[in-house]
Amino acid sequence: MRVISGEKKGFKLRSPKGVNTRPTEDRIKESLFNILRDIHNESVVLDLFAGSGGIGIEFLSRGAKKTFFVDKSYESIECIKDNLVHTDYILKSEVIKKDAFRALKEFNEKGIRFNYIFADPPYEKGLALKTLETIDNMDILKKDGLLIIEHEINLNLDIKPLSKLSKKDYRKYGSKAISFYIY
């Protein structure tokens, strides 16, 4: 796993050992950022269910101002911190060891808003839909902000009408898919 582009292009990142993480494959990461194009240098990003932190670090490498990394696994948090030290992005980051939904609630209560939220919840546990509905019911995305959810391909994330978010795009990558929602 590596940083695909930007100022830290080619930097190798490590993955947590002994935990059930699925780092976003390089080909999916490259496609994702080709879709997003340029990342504005004032962008604030949330990497939710962050795992190794690879996506949030990619946002930073491409110019984002700050990234928040949230994961509840101690091993993931330690791996994220190591990757941030290695890439020299620790000062542009906030690493939070917490349940994703508790963290979302706290961001909402504190008025913290994001330009991008990338969520890669564990598969087959109903967390992708719960994440979508939770964020739709909060005020944590900035106007024209983008929620990106990586999920299993057979999951339908169009179950109920959304009030604030609208689906912008959907891409398939083998057994995985990425859904894009705009605020």
Beta-sheet strands, E only, within the chain: 44-48, 66-71, 93-97, 114-119, 141-152, 166-173, 176-182
Residue 17 within a domain? no
Structure token digits, residue 171: 């891409």
- Domain span including residue 158: 26-182
Give the per-residue pLDDT at 124: 79
> SS3 for 25?
coil
**Regions of the chain short of the pLDDT cut 50:** none
Residue 21 within a domain? no
CATH number of residue 128's parent domain: 3.40.50.150
Of the candidates 120, 108, 182, 110, the one whose C-alpha atom is nearest the C-alpha of residue 145 is 182
Residue 6 within a domain? no
pTM: predicted TM-score of the whole model, two decimal places:
0.94
Residue 83 within a domain? yes
> 124-166: per-residue pLDDT in tens?
788 999 999 999 999 999 999 999 999 999 888 876 666 889 8
CA–CA separation, 78 vs 71, rounded Å? 10
DSSP per-residue letters across 45-81: EEEET-TT-HHHHHHHHTT-SEEEEEES-HHHHHHHH
